[in-house]
Amino acid sequence: MAIVRSDDQTLQHPIPINDAFIDYPEIENMVRKAVNLAGGLESIINSGDMVLLKPNIVDPEPPGSGEVTDVRVIKALIKIIDELSPGNIEIVVGEGTPRPMDYELEYQSKFSSPCWAELWDTAGYQDLLNDPDLTSINFRLSNLNGSPPENPWQDLREVEVPGGCEADPQGGTYFIHKDVLNADVYITVPVMKIHDPGMTVALKNQIGLAPSTKYGFSKTAGVPQDGYAHSLTHTRQLPKYWTHKEIVDLSALANIQFAVVDAIMCLDMQKSRTSYNQVRMNTIVAGADPVAVDHVCARLMDLNPDDIEHITLAELKGLGTNNPDLIQLEGADLNQTKRRFRKNSASTADFGQSNRFWLVKGPFSVEGITDPMQHEYIADEANARPDAESDGWSEPIYFRDDHIDLKDYFDLQTGDKAVGYLFSYFDAPENQDAELWIGSDEALKIVINGNEVYDYEGNRSFPGTQFVNEKITVPIMSGENTLLVKSLQQYGRYDFCLNICEPEDDPLHDGNRIWGLKFRTSGQTVRVKQEKVLYNQGFHIHNAYPNPFNGFVTVLYDVPKTGRVKIQVYNLRGEVVKTLSDRHHNTIGQKSVIWDGMDNTGIQVASGTYVLSICTDHYLKSKKLVYIK
């Protein structure tokens, strides 16, 4: 990955990062350097390819406003891509804006009004078509809402999400413009800004793939032409919160191969430009891993990436890495470049993110017990150190929302009364005071390192849009900590929220989880030092990224001791497709292997699911890989 600032002294005409008069040649030089430092486009774009550039265009705002992707960044990319094989690469600039064209008015809701006389004209994209620097280049603009005025739906295709849908209301499929599906290479080009789901960068930009002629103006409205059958659910089913899941689904469909982030003029506090929320950075960020790009951009805005659900969920889905130890940065120093962006304190993202990984035990009946919260259903409950699937504890459970929903997990009915336990380890970088952010509608007890730090016995309002009832200061230790939650269900919804945050008095900046703090459900000791998480070496395969893939996939694995390691790829019939490595490792630690989709004879494999197997004398581990041509 790369960060390039306008004051980079290797640029032809470096200028200060606060210079409002940054011109096109400077921006082009920044984009060129960022793309090159991030590995270049030569390895992913071939002559004859169709390349889709996906900017972020919402409202009719001019270039450089911070609300829309600066058209000068798109122009630079068009030139850079064409130079790989002049005239032989079809370049498409595509976006599905939530603001309609005239011919789309019949699809709009009553809350919208026409914004575009021509496609994204205010944002400067029509000017590209007449730009003398681009006259010989094979490129076009594409309205991803569907373009033929007489029937925009003819451009749309209903497709399944590879690897399964995260947003249940979508039923596993989305409508997507054919240009997205036909693209050989997909490059996301967002503008960096604060938004309700925390931020808009590489992943959030994919909400623009949901065509408004199907999903509505706005995209949570649906359209009358099919009885409002399709819309993005977002927050309509609170406390179930589907926005992040929809972002990850659409990112999986996009199959992002590269990201170039416009961080020239950014926005804090909200996605729309106001008189007080523009943040000039004169910076370009680029990388081939969209999750890593979002991780770095979150840190550039002084957010913790672990607080952004679509980042952590995309990593779990195999779309990239959120681990700072695995992200190699080139160019400008991240810590010297980052700014303290103000959050949207009215949004759910202000909370950060609950711990989602828990071991669960229960439910326990409260029948005949006078004070269930003081009754120990587990002997010496405060000092519990459970193992997964042992002594009645569950396997590791990933809860899909910030409201940890025990009613659904235990399959309780309204009026059922029960007590349940949840347990997690967490690792902290140092001995320090932390701010515990807590929300619940009923009794809740929290024990950290054997010490009861919180005990609430009453009933209170805890609606779907609310994540915090109380904030308390608690001590945590360097290294491993234990966290036990005891929760009572009598009358309410039986859910709670919990985050461990940096102490902060300013409501426009608070709610960041402590940097480096990691939750886990196993008792394996983890040592945290400064900004790095160093795992005691055990045999383990990390997430593959990108996954699904269509160029190459990188798999990282830990080798606990020296010895021979064989790494092979199998098809689903159990046949060896490719032997990637078969050698003796003389050193322990983290290793990596790359598969380019070729079999042992040098032929590209067919699209589908494969199994990567890593075998030693003592271990056998495997991971599924999805290859998409």
Please write the tens of the pLDDT for every residue from 232-241.
999 999 888 9
Q: How many other C-beta atoms are found inside a 10 Å radius of the C-beta of residue 153?
A: 17
Nearest to 265 by CA among 123, 78, 91: 123
pLDDT for residue 525: 38
CA–CA distance, 390 with 521 (Å, rounded to integer) = 12
What confidence category does residue 584 fall into, taking pLDDT thresholds of 50, 70 and 90? Answer: confident
Question: C-alpha 60: how far from its chain's center?
Answer: 27
Looking at residue 538, its pLDDT comes to 52
Which of 629, 590, 591 is closest to 608 using CA atoms? 629
Instruction: List pLDDT tens digits, range 446-493.
Output: 999 999 999 999 999 887 777 889 999 999 999 999 999 999 998 888
> Above pLDDT 70, what percent of the chain?
95
> CB within 8 A of 318, min separation 6: which ones?
163, 543, 544, 545, 546, 547, 548, 626
pLDDT in tens, 319-333: 999 999 889 999 999
What is the pLDDT confidence band of residue 346, given thresholds at 50, 70 and 90? low
- Considering only 95-109, 116-130, 539-553, which range has the smallest mean pLDDT? 539-553
Which domains does the chain show, CATH number per domain? 2-345 (3.40.50.11440), 354-531 (2.60.120), 540-627 (2.60.40.4070)
Half-sphere exposure at residue 133, Cβ-oriented, CA atoms within 13 angstroms? 15
Report pLDDT for 486: 97
Q: Residue 277 and residue 229: Cα distance in Å, rounded?
A: 36
d(C-alpha 402, C-alpha 243), whole Å: 12
Alpha helix ranges (H) inside 265-363: 290-300, 309-316, 334-337
367-407 pLDDT, tens digit per residue, is 999 999 999 999 999 999 999 999 999 999 999 999 999 99
Give the dihedral of Cα atoms 467, 471, 476, 481; nearest 10 deg.
-30
pLDDT in tens, 28-66: 999 999 999 999 999 999 999 999 999 999 999 999 999
Who's near 104: CB < 8 A, 6+ residues apart? 145, 152, 212, 213, 217
Does residue 534 have a pLDDT over 60? no
| The predicted structure's pLDDT at residue 46 | 94
Q: What per-residue confidence (pLDDT) applies to 537?
A: 37
Give the per-residue pLDDT at 203. 98
Cα 94 to Cα 78: distance, rounded to the nearest angstrom = 13
Residue 100, SS3 per DSSP: coil
Residue pair 604/598 in contact by the 8 Å Cβ criterion: yes
Q: Please give the pLDDT value at position 539.
A: 62
Which of 287, 377, 364 has the alpha carbon at shortest distance from 326? Answer: 287
Mean pLDDT, the chain, as a whole number? 90
CA 128, 129, 133, 136 dihedral sign is: positive
Helix, strand, or coil (residue 131): coil
Question: What average pLDDT score do residues 352-376 get?
Answer: 94
Please give the torsion angle defined by the CA atoms of residues 23, 1, 594 and 622, in that order, rounded to the nearest 10 degrees: -130
Quick check: 22 pLDDT over 70? yes
For the chain, the distance separating the N- and C-terminal CA atoms, rounded to the nearest angstrom, is 24
The span from the CA of 238 to the CA of 463, in Å, is 8
pLDDT at 78: 98
| CA gap 32, 615 in Å, rounded | 42
Is residue 564 very low, low, confident or very high in pLDDT (cuts 50, 70, 90)?
confident
Distances from the Cα of 243 to the Cαs of 106, 209, 577, 625, in angstroms? Answer: 26, 14, 38, 26
Which pLDDT does position 617 carry in this prediction? 63
Question: What would the two tokens of residue 21 be?
Answer: 């008069």
Q: Which pLDDT tens digit goes with each residue over 249-288?
A: 999 999 999 999 999 999 999 988 988 999 999 999 999 9
Can you tell me whether residue 614 is helix, strand or coil? strand
Q: Cα(190)–Cα(207) distance, rounded to whole angstroms?
A: 11
Question: Could you read off the pLDDT of 262-271 as tens digits, one per residue?
Answer: 999 999 999 8
Q: Residue 531: what pLDDT?
A: 29
Proportion of the chain above pLDDT 90, given as a percent: 71
The answer to whether the CB of 168 falls within 8 A of the CB of 162 is: no
Q: For residue 484, what are its two tokens?
A: 């036990």
